[in-house]
Structure 1
Amino acid sequence: MIRGFLNEGGRLRAVEGTSELPESMVWIDLVNPSDAEEDDLEKRLGIDIPTREEMEEIEISSRLYNEDGASFMTATLPAQADGDDPQMQAVTFVLTGNRLVTIRYHEPRAFKTFPMRAEKVPMGCETGEGVLIALLEAIVDRLADILERAGRDIDGISRDVFQHKGAKPTKSQDFQKVLETIGRKGDLTSNIRDSLVTLERLVGFLGQGAMQRKSGKDVRERIKTLARDVRSLADHASFLSQKITFLLDATLGMINIEQNAIIKIFSVAAVVFLPPTLIASIYGMNFQFMPELDEVYGYPMALGLMVLSAILPYVYFKRRGWL
């Protein structure tokens, strides 16, 4: 599918089809393009549109390059990021002449919200470069929202791990859920961080191209601001990753403490019942001459001795603070 957008006083207006390419068409958006659509657009624009396999290559030389007078820039962007398992795929931005061409195979939210907003509010979309900068700003805003949500969720996990002393102890199955949640948040943060790294490289390449094209001062300032925003978000993503690592270590430590407490209870129980077991073993021996066998109160005395031998270790452990 191919979508076209015309410039109308700094606003964008979507048009059906791209059979014609007027000068006012500043943005062409290719969504899951067919081979025929790619071939037709390549002939009319005079550029070589990268294939999906070429877009997924990770070398910088394959993602950021100039060819046939056009600048090709590829970044990894998330889609369906309302949950913890976003769809991460490459999106290619091509600046050719006065137009922006985007090639993508998924639906990042910015590609839905940005055209709707640009249709109502002038956002400096007179040129393809202006559309690209405004689109990248919308993408960065979306990534910031995802990181903010992840940060709130991580704070909630922290409260669950470090409960108040008066709270009910966390069960093992609850710790398992916490570990699963931490793992999902770690994957989400890692994906967003990878996306920000590709965007940081893209914005740097775009800034160099703006200097070579001698773009206006306002354009260069917007690119610098965009680069600072991407860098600050990357730092925040690194902070969240460190916090997730800390929570993971803390949760594993809590699990070890709980397991040690269980082992301690069994150890204390074994020590408490050891003296009664010894007494019962003594009086269970089959010797013919045992003085206590003829005593009237021999049996109650043996029972009392076993109970007393169990209470004394318990009291001792309690005074020492081992229980």
Structure 2
Amino acid sequence: MIKAFVVDNDRLRLSENFELDKGKVVWADLFNPTMDEEADIEEWLGASVPTREDMEEIEISSRLYVEDGAYFMTATLPSQADSDNPVMSPVTFVLAGDRLVTIRYQEPRAFQTFPARAEKVATGCTSAETILIGLLETIVDRLADILERASRGVEAISKNIFHPRSTGASSRDRDFQRVLKDIGSKETLTSDIRDSLTSLQRLTGFLANAVGQSKNGKDARARIKTLSRDVLSLTDHATFLSQKITFLLDATLGMINIEQNGIIKIFSVAAVIFLPPTLVASIYGMNFELMPELKWLFGYPFALGLMVVSAILPYWYFRRRGWL
């Protein structure tokens, strides 16, 4: 599918027919393009567009390069990011003179919000360069929103770990299982956003060189510089979040170990407390004919009392040492 946009008084306007408006189209957005659509765009652009396999290459030379006078820039962007499992996919931006082409196979939200806002409000979309910069700014804003939501989720996990609501052992076990799943999903989300920001950081540096020679190069470079600083600050924040998630994972595993050690401690103390009574019962349970207390009137109460005392003494000792 091809969405073509033309510039109309510093605003974007969706073209009704790409073929009829080819001479006025400034931005062509390809979403899951067919071979015929790719051929039409290549003829209009004057350069070959990369295939999906080319876009998925991870080498810098395959993501940022100049060919036939056009600048090709590929970044990894999230879609369906309202969940903790966004779909990461490459998006290629092709800047050739006063023409911009974007090729994508997913639906990042910025590709919906930016054209809608640029059609209603004059956002300075006067050329392909300004459209690309405005689109990148919207993408960075969207990534910032995702990181803010992830931060709130991490704070909620932290409170759940250090201030648990449940007191029962079985409830805490279920809570820890849920916490571990939440930590894993937040780490996946943060890692994906960091990858996306890293690709955007490289893209902005490449774009700054691409627009350096244009007539609006000074203003464009200033906006790109601001954009680059925003990306860098978001990358630092994502790194901080990743470190905090790692700390929460270690803390959760430590809490689980404490819970397990507490349970083992209870069993150990119980075993030690009941060991002396068991020994007494074993002695007086032997079936020897000649036993001193066998005919004794107070033998049975004496044995019971000895068992109780032998159980109380270890318990008292443990309490005095602070082991209980």
- For residues 123 and 100 of structure 1, the distance between their equivalents in structure 2, rounded to whole angstroms, comes to 17
Give SS of 2:213's match.
Answer: helix
Q: Which amino acid aligns with 1:45?
A: L
Q: What's the CA shift string for 1:99-125, capped at 9, x where partnerless?
A: 110000000000011111111111111
- For residues 21 and 12 of structure 2, the distance between their equivalents in structure 1, rounded to whole angstroms, comes to 15
Does residue 112 in structure 1 map to residue 112 in structure 2? Answer: yes
Question: Aligned pair count?
Answer: 322
Percentage of pairs with the same residue: 66
The correspondence of residues 40-119 of structure 1 with structure 2, limited to 5 A, is 40-119=40-119
- For residues 134 and 23 of structure 2, the distance between their equivalents in structure 1, rounded to whole angstroms, comes to 19
Deviation at 1:233, TM superposition (A): 0.3
- For residues 44 and 149 of structure 2, the distance between their equivalents in structure 1, rounded to whole angstroms, comes to 43
Q: TM-score, normalised by structure 1?
A: 0.96
Deviation at 1:88, TM superposition (A): 0.2
Deviation at 1:167, TM superposition (A): 7.0
- For residues 297 and 60 of structure 2, the distance between their equivalents in structure 1, rounded to whole angstroms, comes to 95
Give SS of 1:29's match.
Answer: strand
For 1:317, the equivalent position in structure 2 comes to 318
Equivalent pair of 2:95/2:101 in contact (CA under 8 Å): yes
Give SS of 2:186's match.
Answer: helix
- For residues 21 and 99 of structure 2, the distance between their equivalents in structure 1, rounded to whole angstroms, comes to 10
Give SS of 1:144's match.
Answer: helix
- For residues 133 and 23 of structure 1, the distance between their equivalents in structure 2, rounded to whole angstroms, comes to 22
Deviates more, 1:60-69 or 1:295-304: 295-304
Does residue 155 in structure 1 map to residue 192 in structure 2? Answer: no
Give SS of 2:27's match.
Answer: strand
Give SS of 1:33's match.
Answer: coil
Q: Which amino acid aligns with 2:214?
A: R
Equivalent pair of 2:86/2:189 in contact (CA under 8 Å): yes
Q: Which amino acid aligns with 1:8?
A: D
Deviation at 1:291, TM superposition (A): 1.6
Deviation at 1:303, TM superposition (A): 1.4
- For residues 141 and 311 of structure 1, the distance between their equivalents in structure 2, rounded to whole angstroms, comes to 67
- For residues 18 and 201 of structure 1, the distance between their equivalents in structure 2, rounded to whole angstroms, comes to 32
Give SS of 1:227's match.
Answer: helix
Q: Which amino acid aligns with 1:315?
A: W
Deviation at 1:214, TM superposition (A): 5.2
- For residues 246 and 214 of structure 1, the distance between their equivalents in structure 2, rounded to whole angstroms, comes to 50
Does residue 9 in structure 1 map to residue 38 in structure 2? Answer: no
Q: What's the CA shift string for 1:194-229, capped at 9, x where partnerless?
A: 000000000000001112335332211100000000
Deviation at 1:22, TM superposition (A): 4.2
For 1:172, the equivalent position in structure 2 comes to 173
In the TM superposition, structure 1's runs of 4+ consecutive aligned residues that sit over 4 Å from their partners are none
Gaps of 5+ in 2: none
Q: TM-score, normalised by structure 2?
A: 0.96
The correspondence of residues 1-323 of structure 1 with structure 2, limited to 5 A, is 1-163=1-163, 168=167, 171-213=172-214, 215-323=216-324
- For residues 57 and 161 of structure 1, the distance between their equivalents in structure 2, rounded to whole angstroms, comes to 40
Deviates more, 1:143-152 or 1:283-292: 283-292
- For residues 252 and 262 of structure 2, the distance between their equivalents in structure 1, rounded to whole angstroms, comes to 15
- For residues 107 and 166 of structure 2, the distance between their equivalents in structure 1, rounded to whole angstroms, comes to 44
Q: 1:243 to 1:301 in 2, by over 3 A?
A: same
- For residues 124 and 176 of structure 2, the distance between their equivalents in structure 1, rounded to whole angstroms, comes to 51
